[in-house]
Every structure is written in structure tokens, then in C-alpha cells.
Chains A and B, each alone.
Chain A
Amino acid sequence: MFDVFSNFTTGIIPMEAYIIVSLIMFFAGVYGFLSRKSLLMILISIELILNAADINFVVFNRYLYPEQMEGFFFALFTIAISACETAVAIAIVINIYRNLNNVDVDSLNELKE
């Protein structure tokens, strides 16, 4: 645990540091997903979770298989897909707003109107 911080002095950022960042981002996302009531905030939380995963892809690629590029490409794909997902989700949120006049997740407990 203390090696992690000792490496700061040597100038090389160790892999664990990235993973800790992504871990914090991931659980921040999970926490936001569970605790926020606004659909938009939930959407942002999902973005956090996805970005945490992206960081992991890039970091593992860079540190474990430096001569290969799959991780980077995968991160790019994920970004593209998350963009699409966000677009769809926003569309849904707008429709929900039109129907219910709010974007509160607690009001969405019926499958039909």
C-alpha cells in the first residue's frame, strides 16, 4: 500500500494509482445511480461507471501489453457506444418528461399509464 505512494517520488505513476482512481469513479457512479432521484443525474452516474471501465481498458493495455492496441480501440468503441446510449436515454427522458412533467425516477413504478 505504501509502495504506491513511494513511487510518486520516482516520477513513474504506478498502475495501482490509475486503478484506484477508476475504482473511486466506479463506486461514485454506483452511489450516484442508487441515490439520485433525477433521471439525468442517474444518466451522468452511468457515464461515470463507463468511464471508469474505459480507464481500466487503457491502463491494462498500456501497462501489461504495451506492444498491442486492443485496449485503446476498445475504449474508443465504449465511448462511441456510450454516446449512442446517452442519446437514446436522453430521448427517453424527454418523453418521460412530456408525459409526467417530471424526471423523478420514483414516479416510474408502473409499466403502463
Chain B
Amino acid sequence: MNILYKMEYTLLILILPLLSFTVLGLVDSKWKPQVAGTIGTAVLTTVAILSYYTAWVYFTTANISGEYQKIITFQTEWMRFTEYLHIDLGILLDPISVLLLVVISTISLMVHIYSLSYMHGEKGFERYYAFLSLFTFAMLGLVVATNIFQMYIFWELVGVSSYLLIGFYYTKPEAVAASKKAFIVTRFADLGFLIGILILSFYTKTFDFGVLTSGQESVFAGTAGVSFMGFSIMSWAMALIFIGGAGKSAMFPLHIWLPDAMEGPTPVSALIHAATMVVAGVYLVARLFPVYYFYAPEVLHGIAYIGAFTALFAATIACVQTDIKRVLAFSTISQIAFMMVGLGVSGMGGHHGLGYMAAMFHLFTHAMFKALLFLGAGSVIHAVHSNEMSKMGGLRKYMPVTHITFLIACLAIAGIPPFSGFFSKDEILSAAFEFSPYLGATMSFIAGLTAFYMFRLYYGIFWGTEHKHHHTPHESPFAMKLPLLFLALVTVFAGFIPFGEFVTNDGAIYHIHLNWTVAGTSVAIAIISILFATFMYRKESKMPEKLAIAFSGLHKSASNRFYVDEVYQFITKKVIFNNISTPIAWFDRHVIDATMDGFASVTQWTSARLKGLQSGDVQDYAYTILLGALIIAGLVIFL
């Protein structure tokens, strides 16, 4: 299985960003900002080229007798504790890790180029590039992990760099609060992940992905018959691991951090909170898919239902948000939930594995068009200096490139052929219909909602009434247009990639064929939704207000994100703080601290009393010595 090809250069893909982070982080502001930006971008270009080369070599040579092999190009034992408990570091190449290598390095490169102009003149430009390198390193390390513990290490590193980048404007209180929120929520989810890893590895005696997904029955022999509260131990382990994934991928109810994370710089939102980090949860489930499928199928179905609910929930909220980045954030949550549904409904191999293949396909296309949408939104924000839709309108005349690329991305996410989103979303819908018609119908409805809110956003920004600007909005500079054009190109053509020939869950090649019934229906739904949005938002009309009044309850609660944040506030502040934290704080202050204070004050009291003996008077000492000597002598003689 693990054939060592001569592909050690893959190690460079990890080392280069790490070096770049170290150098840029150490020199900080001693060099000119342009130098730091150039170094970061040059390193990322190299990494991207290496990733493409790796992908080319992998997909041309690793297909042995019709199946893609798992290749470990680098492996080292990092820490050995016992025979079973040892933590390895390595690089694992298989279709999904190679796919993610390409996605991450492409988006990261685009964001690096884009930021050269977008972040120009910002205070902390070097710091920004250092953190981008750190993030890229962590994310690449995550996807090539050979074992679940290495993945966990990089998982946390990704969380840290996300925290650092959300809090980039650290003088802004909202940004600080958002970064803390993101870190704490995902950390909380990672607790579940860690416990899941420990349970899984305790019963299987291994961390290694190769062993876990090899399909050998003997690996899971230890889990037979062990159950807890009516579920098998494997269900518990895999459900807990999924909680970690749900935290990173912003699944309900752990999604609350993602909309707030939009406080970070927009290119960061594009890279981390749209294209790469948030799909880590999807990647985790995909990576452990055989384990989920064979040993915890009920958890897999649970993932499908959680995904469907999250998709619906987020899409509803996205319809009424007014901050363009928030709309995109909820759209991201919804689209990632689509991928989760795809994985959840998938079977193993061939046509049954359609959901898995579709989820990975959607991951790829979504990364491209969502990054494009975010970068386009950044371009708009750059021009009008606001995130609010009410400050925009009629921008199509001023920003032709942004307008066209944004439109392409909107068409792609809405699922209009021949743009890439159509192909991938359609596969997910077919898989969902095959799993359960109700689920399929729900997902189709959500796809319609997606088209609606994306075109609401599009018309709100580029059409509608022109807002009075302080100065005329202008098209962005070349460094910002280049990534937009490149990503738009990918978005247009990526749908034609025969994806099933590269990524399937059993490694065998699968030929995609469109299910025309599903495809036709979903395209029809999308077009109707777009027309509806056109009717409502292209020109100023009374329709949106009338609808908002007609469904005032729904509208109000959706605008307030269904009060999930308030529920969290209530649980943490009222329940946990009052009933648990306050008593614990009291105990800490009055029992533990008091004991320590007691020790200290007794010592102080004693020393104050003993201080008099240390008079510094030599003759006193001599007298004491003499007296002591006489007493000892007396004791020796008379006793």
C-alpha cells in the first residue's frame, strides 16, 4: 500500500511557508513592507508550482490497476511513548489530499497577490504576511497528515492562525471579540475531537489513517461489544470526532463564530473563512469516511441531517442580512453544509459513492467561486469603504471587472450551467435524492434560496439606486483584478473537469453522468429564484418591504440570526456563569486562596517574631554560641 516514490520534494511544500513565516515574523517591520509582501508571494508561488507538479505526478503515476494508491512520501516518528502510543509526522498523498493541496495553494497564492494591493499601507503589513504564511503551512500540514494526531496538531495551528488573522485589527474591539469567539468556540469543539481521537485510538491501538481506513476487520476487533448509553463505542468516538469537524466547519449549533469572523481583513475571510479552513471538517469526515461508513453508519446519517438543517438555517438568514460579508458568511455555512450532506448520504464505491465524490467536487468548486465572491466583495469594500448594502448600488458602471467576475461567481453558486457550481451541486442533489426524496427536495429548495439571496446581494451591490459617494468609486488596481480574473476563469471551466476520474472514496475511477431530471429541476428552481430576485431587487420596489411585513415574525428572527447568539449568551452568562462559575470562583477565592494566604500569613508572623534574633550584634551571637555549648556540655556530662 505505502509505496515510497521519489517524491521527497513534497516536504518543501510544508517547509517553505514555515520558513517564510519565521523570517517575516522575525524581521517584522525592519524591512520595507513591499519586501515582506514579495517574499510571501514568491514563496507561495513556489509552493503552488510544487503542488501542481505533485498533483500532476500523482494523478499520472499513482493509478495502479485502476485504483489510486495511498503514497507516503515522508514519514518520521516524532514521539514514542509506548509500543502503540507514538506520534508520527509524515506526508500522505491520496486523491483528496492532493486535491486539497492544489486548492489551498491556489487560493492562498491568489490571496497573497490580492493582498499586496488590498492591504497596501496597512499598519502591520509584514505581520499580516507572516500570519498568512503560518496559516498556509498549518493548512497544508493538516491535509497531508498521515495520522489523526498529526492532523489534530495542525488543526490547532490552523485555529491559532485563524485567531491571529481575525484579530488582525487588534485595536478594534469587535475584531478582538470576534477572534476570541472564533477561538473559544472551535476550541470547545476540539475538546470533543480530542476525546474522540483518544477513544478511537484506545480501542484500535493506532492513529494511522492508512491502518484505520484499510478495511481490515482486525483493527476494530477491540471495539466489538463495547457500548455506552445504548450506542456502540465507535459511534461515540466518531460522533465526538465529528463535533471537532462541526466546530471548524461551522455546523449548527457551532456556527456562531463564522459570521463574526468577518471582522478580519477581507482577503483573510476569502482564504480562511470561505475556501480552506472551514472545509477542514468536511475533509476530516472524508478522510475517515470508511470508518464512518462501516462502523458508525448512524453517525453518518446524523451528519447528513445536521448538514441539511444547517444549510436551510444559514440560507434563510443569508436572505435578510445587509452586511455583504455576513451574507457571504452565511452562504459559506450553507454551502459547507451541502458538502456535509453529500458525505452523509454517500455509500461506498462506484455509483453509491457519488455523494462522497460530489462533496469533494463541491469543495473544490466552492473554494474557487466563494474565494472569488469574497475577493470581489473586498474589491467593492475597497471602493466604497463600507460593508453595508445600503451604501452600495449601481456600481456596475464604475467597476466592470469586479461586476463581471462577481456575476460569474453568483451564477456558479446559483447552479446555472455551464458554470462549475452547477455540476458539483447537481451531483450532491442527485445523491441526496437517491438517499431520501424528502432530503433531496429540501436540498433543492435550499439551492433555490441560495440563488435568491446571491442575486439579492448582486443586485444590491451593482444595480438598484445609486448611493451618493464621497468620491466616485473606482475599479481596483491590477494586483486585485488579476486574482479575480483567474478565479473567474477557473469558475467557468472547472465544471468540465472529469472529477470522478480523480477522486472517489474507493480510489477506483467513476464516470460522472448527469441525472437530467434532477439537473433540470434544480436549474428551473434556480432560474425562478433569480427571476424573483430580479423582480424584487433590480429596481427599487415596495416588494421587499411588503414581504418583510407579511412574514414579520420570520423576517425579524432571521435578521437576528434566529437568536442563536442570544441563546448562547443566556446559557453561558445566566446558566453556566451563575450556577457553575460563580460557586467555583467563590471556592477558589475563599478556600484555595485562603489556604495559601494562611500559609503566607503564618510564615510572615513567625518571621516577624524571629527577626529580633538576627540583631547583627556579634557579641550576642557569641553569647548564644557559648550558652549553647555549655548546655550541650552539661547534657553530655550529666545525662
Contacts and interface: CB of A to CB of B under 8 A. Distances in A.
A3 interface: no
A113 interface: no
A105 interface: yes
B619 A110 contact: no
A109 B617 contact: yes
Task: Tell me the interface secondary structure of chain B in the complex.
Answer: helix
A13 to B, nearest CB: 27
Contacts of A106: 617
Contact of A111 (B616, B617, B619, B622): B616
A93 to B, nearest CB: 13
Contact of B626 (A34, A105, A109, A110): A34
Nearest to B617: A109
Interface residues of B, number: 8
Interface string B616-639: 111100110010000000000000
B517 interface: no
A30 interface: yes
Contacts of B616: 108-111
B171 interface: no
A27 to B, nearest CB: 10
B60 interface: no
B615 A109 contact: yes
A28 to B, nearest CB: 14
A62 to B, nearest CB: 26
A35 to B, nearest CB: 8
Interface in A56-88: none
Contacts of B622: 33-34
B613 to A, nearest CB: 13
A109 to B, nearest CB: 3
A35 B615 CA distance: 17
A108 B616 CA distance: 7
A34 B620 CA distance: 8
Contacts of B623: 34
A33 B617 CA distance: 13
A75 B616 CA distance: 33
Contacts of A30: 626
Interface in A32-53: 33-35
Interface string B143-174: 00000000000000000000000000000000
B615 to A, nearest CB: 6
Contacts of B626: 30, 34
A53 to B, nearest CB: 15
Contacts of A108: 616, 618
Nearest to B626: A30
Interface centre among A30, A34, A110 (most CB of B within 10 A): A34
B200 to A, nearest CB: 64
A36 to B, nearest CB: 9
A105 B619 contact: yes
B197 to A, nearest CB: 59
B626 to A, nearest CB: 6
Nearest to B615: A109
Nearest to A106: B617
A109 B616 CA distance: 4
Contacts of A111: 616
Interface in B585-624: 615-619, 622-623
B211 to A, nearest CB: 68
Interface in B114-131: none
Contacts of B615: 109
5 contacts: A33-B622, A34-B619, A34-B626, A35-B619, A108-B618
Given A34-B619, A109-B617, 17 more contacts: A30-B626, A33-B619, A33-B622, A34-B622, A34-B623, A34-B626, A35-B619, A105-B617, A105-B618, A105-B619, A106-B617, A108-B616, A108-B618, A109-B615, A109-B616, A110-B616, A111-B616
* Among all A-B residue pairs, the 7 with the closest Cβ atoms: A109-B616, A34-B623, A109-B617, A34-B619, A105-B618, A34-B622, A33-B622
